[in-house]
Amino acid sequence: MTAIPPSLYIHFPWCLCKCPYCDFNSYPLTEPAEELYASYVDKLLVDLEIEAAKVRGRKLNSIYFGGGTPSLLPASAVKKLINRTNDLFSFSPDVEITLEANPGAIDLEVCEGFKDAGINRISLGVQSFNDEKLKSIGRIHDARQAQEAVCAVKQAGFANFNLDMMFGLPGQNVDTALRDLRAALDFAPPHFSWYQLTLEPKTQFAVQPPILPQNEELWDIQQAGQDLLAQTGLVQYEVSAYSKPEFECRHNVNYWQYGDYLGVGAGAHGKITLKNGEVRRYWKIANPKEYLQAQDLLTAGEKTVILKELPFEFMLNALRLYRPISHALFRERTGVTIDVIANELQYAKDSGLIELQSDAVITTAKGRNFLNDLLEIFL
């Protein structure tokens, strides 16, 4: 296997409020922020040095500040982290550096500060432009704040930004879903993510579930939405992601192509391919207070992916992308030829879920619509 350019993920675990559907490693802010954030940034700087030692001489593919709500961080702290990353790692001037932000935690001044700090891509968690729907999923911003946040991102000069939206919201039908989509598309985002609201275990919605659209209504919403998105010039390149040409999220594409990534921060996960071809996964201490109190060891656990699992892990990721899966990439990322999963590929082909070419695997329209069925073949 070749040395894969890794991505870097930096986790910020706090939010102003925990959303009832969220199962991410995030925590509502319950204490004064300034001192807490400063201590956390200091710990991130230590964590960065630990991670840098794992990939000496390998250029970063992308940097991603996720959460939580990392837009709560002062721009000066973000700049400090980016500058230190630049000292420790090698990356090109056009490296993608994304920061997640939420309406209500961002304005023009904040956006300009992040741009000056080195952020060149904003991912804005809008979810809906409908006040009623926002309230139904526990968001603390309203439609006006969402619109103002998008305008601030654009006015600050971010040519590359993403809007996160949801469908399948409580009481939603095709008409209200399309109205929401049109409101988002009016801003001409170069990248657009459209996720179905799901009830995840250990969330407030799992305990007190809202009434969501039935499967037939969900299907109609999804099909109508995809038709509308196709008319805008946004190309669907992943299960839930659409973009204009050259605006795919490099960070996420690296995940789906089974690339390597470093995890920095409370609960962050990483995956590294060693020089001997061994693939190792690891994860950091999840609880922010415990992470801050830890001395030398910030890693909570690690696992070596056994050789026979590599081809299947690769496929479970790569099948999310709407592009051919080349035999060459398969071999580069797993160290084996694609023949090792010949039986599974043939079964998927016979089921009409994929097409097999001489040098690539292509997911069919049926495979995209029934992705879970396709993925189960490789579990």
Q: What is the pLDDT of residues 242-265, one digit of tens each?
A: 999 999 999 999 999 999 999 999
pTM: 0.96
Share of the chain above pLDDT 90, in %: 92
Residue closest to 159 by CA, chosen among 236, 244, 68, 270 = 244
CA–CA–CA angle 184, 188, 192 (5° rounding):
60
- Tell me the C-alpha distance between 241 and 256, whole Å: 12
- Tell me the C-alpha distance between 131 and 126, whole Å: 11
Q: pLDDT tens across 141-194, in order?
A: 999 999 999 999 999 999 999 999 999 999 999 999 999 999 999 999 999 999
Q: pLDDT tens across 87-132, in order?
A: 999 888 789 999 999 998 899 999 999 999 999 999 999 999 999 9
State the alpha helices, DSSP H only, in 32-137. 33-52, 75-88, 108-117, 131-136
Asked if residue 45 has pLDDT above 70, the reply is: yes
Tokens of 176: 């209200």
Candidates 3.40.640.10, 3.40.50.1980, 3.40.50.920, 3.20.20.70; CATH matching 7-255: 3.20.20.70
Q: Which residue has the tokens 């490099």?
A: 250
Asked if residue 139 has pLDDT above 80, the reply is: yes
- Tell me the C-alpha distance between 207 and 51, whole Å: 38
Mean pLDDT (the chain) is 96
pLDDT band at 379 (very low <50, low <70, confident <90, very high): confident
Q: pLDDT tens across 181-235, in order?
A: 999 999 999 999 999 999 999 999 999 999 999 999 999 999 999 999 999 989 9
Residue 2: per-residue pLDDT = 55
Q: Is the peptide bond before 67 cis (omega within 30 degrees of 0)?
A: no
- Domain segments of the chain as ranges: 7-255, 321-376
C-alpha dihedral sign at 315, 318, 320, 321: negative
Q: pLDDT tens across 332-356, in order?
A: 999 999 999 999 999 999 999 999 9
pLDDT band at 1 (very low <50, low <70, confident <90, very high): low
Asked if residue 32 has pLDDT above 90, the reply is: no
The mean pLDDT value for 322-329 works out to 96
Residue 65: per-residue pLDDT = 99
Tokens of 201: 């275990």
Residue 96: per-residue pLDDT = 98
Residue 90: per-residue pLDDT = 83
State the alpha helices, DSSP H only, in the chain. 33-52, 75-88, 108-117, 131-136, 143-155, 174-185, 204-207, 215-230, 250-256, 288-293, 310-318, 327-334, 342-350, 365-369, 371-376
Q: pLDDT tens across 76-93, in order?
A: 999 999 999 999 998 887
